[in-house]
Chains A and B, each alone.
Chain A
Amino acid sequence: KAGVTQTPRYLIKTRGQQVTLSCSPISGHRSVSWYQQTPGQGLQFLFEYFSETQRNKGNFPGRFSGRQFSNSRSEMNVSTLELGDSALYLCASSPSGRARSYEQYFGPGTRLTVT
């Protein structure tokens, strides 16, 4: 099976702009989670989607939003970018079902730089 893919891999934006990041989960995985990784704050949970519904949200401002499509692909959007939004954004997918093991499989990430 192909792994989790994220596009684009690198992105440079200016303060005040908005950005959309995309994630395609492993085939058959219906849960997609997003994490932000920075040197200062480490890895922080942004939100999780399952069957097109946001099930869980981390402690991030409303500028951070996401959605999931019927094919389980997910996008996250950050509006009114700030310098502090510069980070590696990681997407992870997880299988569902009664026999699941709760493992999350990560994509390569999108490195966002805000100038």
Chain B
Amino acid sequence: AQTVTQSQPEMSVQEAETVTLSCTYDTSESNYYLFWYKQPPSRQMILVIRQEAYKQQNATENRFSVNFQKAAKSFSLKISDSQLGDTAMYFCAFMTPNFGNEKLTFGTGTRLTIIP
């Protein structure tokens, strides 16, 4: 079974700073997808960024980028120039693209607070 670990329950940074959220996972699969989801307070969960395991290049979406280390089974999220709107719970998630088993396995989340 796959597991996802987020070792930082809470983090806080000053606005405009850069912050990195950690995520490690355990799997015996070679083909899989990794995701970071953001859940703002009392608001909908939204997808931040996606990484395919067979792609060596790290994914980037505007101020959000990942550091994907496949051998180390590490998938960290870097938020540059943090903004107040980045305050949210961040969940790391794992999925294997196997027909009939396409479920997301989530980590426990990191509560990120951006301080004005």
Interface stretch among B17-25, B64-72, B73-81, B104-112?
A: B104-112
Point out which of B50, B100, B104, B106 has the most chain A C-beta atoms below 10 A from its C-beta.
B104
Question: B74 CB to closest chain A CB, in angstroms?
Answer: 20
Complex CA gap A74/B91 in Å reads 25
Complex partner residue of A108 from B33, B44, B104, B108, CB under 8 angstroms: B44
Is A33 an interface position by the 8 A CB rule? yes
Complex partner residue of B50 from A48, A94, A103, A107, CB under 8 angstroms: A103
Contact A48 B103 (CB under 8 A): yes
Contact B106 A42 (CB under 8 A): yes
Report chain B residues within 8 Å CB of A108: 43-44
Contact B44 A45 (CB under 8 A): no
Is A16 an interface position by the 8 A CB rule? no
**Residues of B within 8 Å of A, CB-based: how many?**
23
- Nearest neighbor of B44 in chain A, beta-carbon distance: A108
Is B56 an interface position by the 8 A CB rule? no
Complex partner residue of A43 from B43, B99, B106, CB under 8 angstroms: B106
Report chain A residues within 8 Å CB of B16: none
- Name B residues whose Cβ lies closer than 8 Å to a Cβ of A: 33, 35, 37, 43-47, 50, 91, 95, 97, 99-109
Known A3-B44, A31-B102, A102-B33; 13 more pairs at CB < 8 Å: A55-B99, A55-B101, A56-B101, A56-B103, A101-B33, A101-B50, A102-B95, A102-B102, A103-B47, A104-B47, A104-B104, A106-B37, A108-B43
